[in-house]
Amino acid sequence: MTRHAGKAKSGRSDRQGRAEQNFYSDALREAEALDFELAHGVEGIDDEIALLRLKIKSLLESDPENVRLMMDATGALARLVMTRYRISASQKKALASAIGSVLQGLAVPLGIKYLP
């Protein structure tokens, strides 16, 4: 294998060339394109689940009255968890119920009217 194997004619690696030619490349700033390339190598959705959990916690701390956004975020979390663990419809209902119970348990002590 030669020292220049894996390089495109322009001197950039094949991977860099693919990143510049992807579907989203026109919409990404340079820094975002680098982040996109890093994200492209990540497998699974565990990081996204953890990030969404942190965002929900932050939302509860900063804007506890925003029940609509909390419901949207917890719904997204339920879908991600269902996808991650490939749970059945009955397990999905149980998970949604558990998340709803947690939200209600948080909303009532904070004096927030919980709307299921």
Give residue 53's pLDDT: 92
Residue 4 within any structural domain of the chain: no
Global pTM?
A: 0.53
Mean pLDDT by 10 residues, the chain (116 residues): 42 50 77 82 86 91 91 92 83 83 77 64
H helix or E strand, kind and range, residue 19? helix 14-20
Assess whether 102 and 75 both reside in one domain.
yes
Assess whether 70 and 30 both reside in one domain.
no
Assess whether 92 and 53 both reside in one domain.
yes
Question: Domain limits at 101?
Answer: 46-107
What lies within 8 Å, CB to CB, of 112 at 6+ separation is: 64, 65, 67
Assess whether 72 and 23 both reside in one domain.
no
